[in-house]
Structure 1
């Protein structure tokens, strides 16, 4: 089985999504991929235990992708070995009335991980330069100064917003949050097949939404805006990774492996040293407990 190198997926220069494959063949069966993922997931859960004791870093995992790209199942499989206290998943929907009374990043600040924990954004602050760009009328709900109509939303507005997002990520990474961003790169044909399966398999009917078909009509716009967002906001401290997502098992393994490999760069994450007094009296404490 071909090894996974995170650098093969990291965005370090401008990309064209149309030129990046949505499927990666590495010569492995689904069972082999699942076995590899199982091992990576176990190592990540052990790492999170050490992170919890170390209490210096939080980890933010951002997952973006078109409908049916596999975000939910990826979260379930990659993080299933985690202690429930160590990981929190946030699925960001349409902002509610309270959230709209604040700036668009406010609710994302509130959801940032505590030290020692992972937070997963299932859809993230990037929706504010993706879905709102496809549907700029949504911006009107934010009641922004100087934006009286959709006509006031200029290309400069979106560029400024991406700069704001970069500044947001710069701020949190400088304050102990490790940021890794993954775009699940799905082909339009594979999405069609997955939507069909939702309709054909009764147990999955509930997953189907007519909204999926409406958004599918904007596929080319989404690809354009994803490309712009990724190219404008992939930085050394908060990189984007473009993950081939037509094969769900492969995508899960790649994401898990990248998270593991990237976390190994933080060599200071280790269990804290035991207190000198405790260390000097371990045998005595053991003897006290043994005699109870």
Structure 2
């Protein structure tokens, strides 16, 4: 099943999250059934990230949004883990600092966008400024409602600069969230994630749903689409996310750059070194054929 087509928010469409099933799991009945496909997608992501890093003509930005405990960290852990860390940067955007508040709302985000050859993952993102700000009434409607257009313009700028954008909204039920909160309480390895705000934010569930629907309706564009990931089943979340990332990278038709050296000449050097193991030869100048050592000696006698 093509989850890019199934889960994308078509630009300009209306979104009613209450009509969608967070427990939907596509054509796979269990994690065991999905394991082979997940492994295939992760291998494809790793291969294509290598091309991205080598070619340096494209960049990739992955945006993760969702209610608390929806699985944003889980996507980073299970889907992004196969990439070369040298070419990946994961950033989280929570409560802004006083310095960040002194600037426009996109100021803190822009420095973390990926350069060509790089992948950036936003665990929460610039969309916090049309979600938390709206729900908690931190700014009047005239302010946050205008930000949809600013965000679309910002993402179009990134797209025109070679950045491919994938945005995932992770959707779970209130019951699943509460279950995960309980699992955190019982797991010492995850208790650090517990916050005093977990339950105060949970009480605003309906307000957040309205804010998410507006976000999805206003900011899913051809160059920066939103995908709604049913995430009650963690394994399906990972399956859908990995497939969408893998297929998006594949569509970039990337290839490694041509070598910048004479491979035949380097191969000859290699075979020469093989013939005399343990006896490094002086590097030769590609123009004169003289060794660097000889050149330095001649220079010293002048």
Report the TM-score, using the length of structure 1 for normalisation. Answer: 0.88
Q: Which residue of 2 aligns with 1:150?
A: none
Q: Which residue of 1 aligns with 2:136?
A: 135
Q: Distance in 2 between matches of 1:185 and 1:77?
A: 17
How far did residue 187 of structure 1 move? 1.0
Q: Distance in 2 between matches of 1:4 and 1:74?
A: 19
Q: Distance in 1 between matches of 2:101 and 2:47?
A: 38
Q: Which residue of 2 aligns with 1:171?
A: 157
Unmatched segments (≥5 aa) in structure 1: 140-152
How far did residue 282 of structure 1 move? 5.1
Q: Distance in 2 between matches of 1:163 and 1:89?
A: 25
Q: Which residue of 1 aligns with 2:9?
A: 11
Q: Distance in 2 between matches of 1:259 and 1:274?
A: 28
C-alpha contact (below 8 Å) 1:45/1:79 kept by paired residues: no
How far did residue 79 of structure 1 move? 1.5
How far did residue 84 of structure 1 move? 1.3
Report the TM-score, using the length of structure 2 for normalisation. Answer: 0.85
SS in 2 for 1:237: coil
Residue correspondence of structure 1 range 41-56 to structure 2 within 5 A: 41-56=42-57
| Distance change in 2, residues 1:62/1:194 (3 Å) | same
| Distance change in 2, residues 1:289/1:104 (3 Å) | farther
Q: Distance in 1 between matches of 2:236 and 2:28?
A: 11
C-alpha contact (below 8 Å) 2:64/2:72 kept by paired residues: yes
Q: Which residue of 2 aligns with 1:142?
A: none
How far did residue 158 of structure 1 move? 2.7
Q: Distance in 1 between matches of 2:224 and 2:264?
A: 43
Q: Which residue of 2 aligns with 1:273?
A: 258
Q: Distance in 2 between matches of 1:184 and 1:70?
A: 7
May I ask how many residue pairs the two structures share in their alignment?
273
How far did residue 202 of structure 1 move? 4.5
Supply the RMSD in Å over aligned alpha carbons.
1.7
C-alpha contact (below 8 Å) 2:130/2:145 kept by paired residues: no
Give CA deviations for 1:140-168 in whole Å, capped at 9, x if unaligned: xxxxxxxxxxxxx13x4333111000000
How far did residue 248 of structure 1 move? 0.7
> Which is higher, the Rg of structure 1 or of structure 2?
2
C-alpha contact (below 8 Å) 1:190/1:246 kept by paired residues: yes
How far did residue 203 of structure 1 move? 4.2
How far did residue 207 of structure 1 move? 2.5
Is 1:103 the counterpart of 2:88 in the alignment?
Answer: no
SS in 2 for 1:88: strand
Unmatched segments (≥5 aa) in structure 2: 277-302
Q: Distance in 1 between matches of 2:203 and 2:84?
A: 40
How far did residue 59 of structure 1 move? 0.5
Q: Which residue of 1 aligns with 2:300?
A: none
Give CA deviations for 1:122-143 in whole Å, capped at 9, x if unaligned: 0000000001101123x4xxxx
| Distance change in 2, residues 1:15/1:271 (3 Å) | same
2:170 pairs with 173, 184, 189, which one?
Answer: 184
Q: Distance in 1 between matches of 2:133 and 2:147?
A: 11
Residue correspondence of structure 1 range 21-60 to structure 2 within 5 A: 21-25=21-25, 26-60=27-61
SS in 2 for 1:107: coil
